[in-house]
Structure 1
Amino acid sequence: MLIDGFSPVTIVLLVAILAASALMSGLSGFGFSAIGALCLILLPPKLGVPLLMTLSAANQIMSLRQLKADMKPIKHWWPDGPAPYLLGGLLGVPVGIAILGSLPTSDLMMVFGAFLVVYAGYSLLRPHTAHATVQGSWLSSSLVGMSGGVIGGFTAFPGAPVVVWSGLRHLPKKESRAIVQPYIFVLQILSISLLALQRPETFGRTYWLLVAITVPVVLPCTLMGVKLYRSLSDVNFRRVTFILLGISGLGLLIKAADSFPAVARAIKTAAL
C-alpha cells in the first residue's frame, strides 16, 4: 500500500470526492468542504478536517488568481468588503479549534446542518426577488464572520454563514465572491497554522502523502469550475450557492448523526 491503512480503492474514492469538491468550489467560490465532508466517512476527523482545510486553501489560491480582476483592492476592504468578516473570523477560529480538540460537536453540527438544509430549500423554492432581505453594517458583518470562524474551526466549513448573509443581502455574484473567497482563504490558513502550533502530530506522514496525491487533482478541477462560473448569470449563481449550502448542511448532518456509524463502517469496509 502507498499509504498505510488505505487501499487503492479508498484512495480512488478520496480523489473522486475531492475532484468534485474542487469543481463545485471553483464554480461557486465556496463549498469545497461541503462535498469534501464525504471524505470523513473514510478518514478520521482529526486527519480529514486538516486535509480539507489545506486543500480548500489551495483551491482558493487558484480561484483568486483566476478572478483577481473581480476582487476589490485591499484599501477598499473596509467597511463593505471582506475586512469586517475577517475581523470577526479571526476571533472565532481559536474557539472552533478548541471545540474540535476538546468538546463534543455533534449537537452543534446537527443544529447548524439542519438550518442550512432548511434555508437552502426555502431559498430555492421562494419567488425570486431583486431586493435585499436585510441591510448590512460592519458590525453585523463582523458577527457573521465570527460565527463562520467558530464553525470553520471544527468543521472546515467557514464560508457557510457568510454565504447565507450575502444571499440575504442579495449581493451580485462578483461582490459575493469578492467577500467570500478572501474570507475562506484567510480563515483556512489561520486554522491550519493554529493546528500546526497546537497539534503538530496531526501533520504526519499520512497527511503529507494525502496532500501530495490530491493537490494535482484539485487544482485542475478548480480551474474547470472557474471557467463554468464565468458563464453563470447572477440568478443561476445564487441557485448554485443554495444547492451547495444544502449539501453543506447534509454533510454536517452525516458527520453528526449518531445513527450513521454503521453505514460509515460498511462503506469503509467495502473500500478497504
Structure 2
Amino acid sequence: MDALVFALFALAALVGGFVSGFSGFAMGLVVSGVWLHIITPMQTATLIAGYGLLTQGYGIFKLRHVLDLRKAWPLALGTVIGIPIGVSILAYLNPAHLRFGVGILLMLYAIYGLTRPVFAPMKIGTAADIAIGVSNGLLGGLTGLGGIISTISCQWRGWPKDVQRAVFQPVLFVAFVVISLSQAAAGTITRDTLVLYALGVPFMVAGLWSGFRLFGKIDDETFRKTVLVLLLFAGLSLIVSVLPFAF
C-alpha cells in the first residue's frame, strides 16, 4: 500500500470513527465509500465488522451508566434470528431492486421526519421488539445495513439520546459479533486484512473519541435530526450504488 492509498484509508477510518462516535452508527456507510475503491470488497466487509466491534464496544462502555439490557435484548435476539434468514433469501431476490426499494423507503422516512414535528413517543412490547429485531436482522442480511431498523425504532419511543444509543449500540454489537463469526468460519479473515485493521485502529479510535466528545455537547433534537440525516444518506447511497442496474 503506497502513501496516498494509506492516507485515504486512514482518513476514511478517522471520519468513520468520528461519525460513529457522534451518532452511534453509520461507520460502515462512511468508510465503504472510500475503501471499496482502494481495497477489495471482502477486506472492506471484514474490516467494517471488525471495526464495528470496536466502535460499538466503545459506545457501550461510554454509555454504561444508562445501559439497560432489558430494553436491548429483544431487539438483539430478533437481530440474531434475522441475519441468517436475510442472507439465505438473498439468493432468491434481485439485489439491485431490493437495495433500490429500501433506499427509497429510508429517504422518504428521513425526509418526513425532518419536515414534521417530533414523533409522539410509542410504547412497544417485548414481542413487538423481537419482531422489529428480526426485521432489523433481515435488512442487515439483505443489504449490509444491520442496525437501521433498530435505530429507527429507538427514535419512535421518545427516549433521550443517551438511552437510545444505550439500546441500539448493543444490538449493533451483537450483529457485528454474528457477522465476524460467520466471516471467521468462512475463512475470509486473512493476515493482510488483520494488518490493515491494526494500521487503522489509531485513526478509528481518534475519530471515536472526538465524535463522542461532540455528542456530549448536543441536545436530543439535534441528535434526532443527525440520525435522520444519516438515514437519508444511507438511503441515497443504496440508490446510487444500484441505479445503473435497477431497471
Q: What amino acid sits opposite 1:148 in the alignment?
A: N
Picking from 55, 58, 63, the partner of 1:62 is: 58
SS of structure 2 residue aligned to 1:214: helix
Question: Residue in 2 aligned with 1:16?
Answer: 11
User: What's the CA shift for 1:173?
Assistant: 1.0
Question: Residue in 1 aligned with 2:176?
Answer: 188
Alpha carbon RMSD of aligned pairs, Å? Answer: 2.2
Change (3 A) 1:47 1:104: farther
User: What's the CA shift for 1:21?
Assistant: 1.4
Contact 2:47/2:197, CA 8 A, preserved across alignment: yes
Contact 1:53/1:156, CA 8 A, preserved across alignment: no
Question: Residue in 1 aligned with 2:83?
Answer: 93
Cα distance per residue 1:202-248 (max 9 Å; x no partner)? 11133112212211110121011111111111111101111111122
Question: Residue in 1 aligned with 2:159?
Answer: 171
Q: Percent identity?
A: 25
User: What's the CA shift for 1:99?
Assistant: 5.7
Greater alpha carbon shift after TM alignment, 165-174 vs 84-93: 165-174
Cα distance per residue 1:19-64 (max 9 Å; x no partner)? 1111111111112122223133444433322211111111111222
SS of structure 1 residue aligned to 2:244: coil
Taking the aligned partners of 1:208 and 1:102, their CA distance within structure 2 comes to 33
Picking from 184, 197, 213, the partner of 1:211 is: 197
Change (3 A) 1:225 1:92: same
SS of structure 2 residue aligned to 1:30: coil
| Residues 43-122 of structure 1 aligned to structure 2 (within 5 Å) | 43-72=39-68, 74=69, 77=70, 81-98=71-88, 104-122=94-112
Question: Residue in 1 aligned with 2:116?
Answer: 126
Change (3 A) 1:211 1:237: same
Cα distance per residue 1:143-193 (max 9 Å; x no partner)? 221122122235442111111112223222122111100000011011110
TM-score, length of structure 2 as denominator length: 0.89
Picking from 152, 157, 170, the partner of 2:140 is: 152
Q: What amino acid sits opposite 1:54 in the alignment?
A: G
| Residues 179-258 of structure 1 aligned to structure 2 (within 5 Å) | 179-197=167-185, 199-200=186-187, 202-258=188-244
Q: What amino acid sits opposite 2:234 in the alignment?
A: S
Taking the aligned partners of 2:93 and 2:191, their CA distance within structure 1 comes to 26
Q: How many residues align?
A: 245
User: What's the CA shift for 1:101?
Assistant: 7.9
Taking the aligned partners of 1:70 and 1:107, their CA distance within structure 2 comes to 40
Q: What amino acid sits opposite 2:45 in the alignment?
A: V
Structure 2 residue runs without a partner (length 5+): none
